[in-house]
Amino acid sequence: MQILHFDIKPQNILHDENLKPKILDFGLAKLYPVEDSIVRLTRARGKFGYMAPEMLYKNIGGVSYKADVYSFGMLLMEMVSRIKNVHASTEHLSQIYFLTWIYDQFHDEKNIEIQDAIEDERKICKKMMIVALWCIQLKPSDHPSMNKVVKMLEGDVECLQVPL
| Rounded distance between C-alpha atoms, residue 129 and residue 76, angstroms | 7
Question: What are the angstrom distances between the C-alpha of 73 and each of 19, 78, 133, 161?
Answer: 20, 9, 7, 16
- Active-site residue flag, 7: yes
CB 23 within 8 A of CB 8: yes
Tell me which of 7, 16, 36, 156 is the catalytic residue.
7
2 strand-pairing partners: 32
Supply φ then ψ for residue 20, to 5 degrees.
-85, 130
| Rounded distance between C-alpha atoms, residue 154 and residue 1, angstroms | 27
Catalytic residues: 7
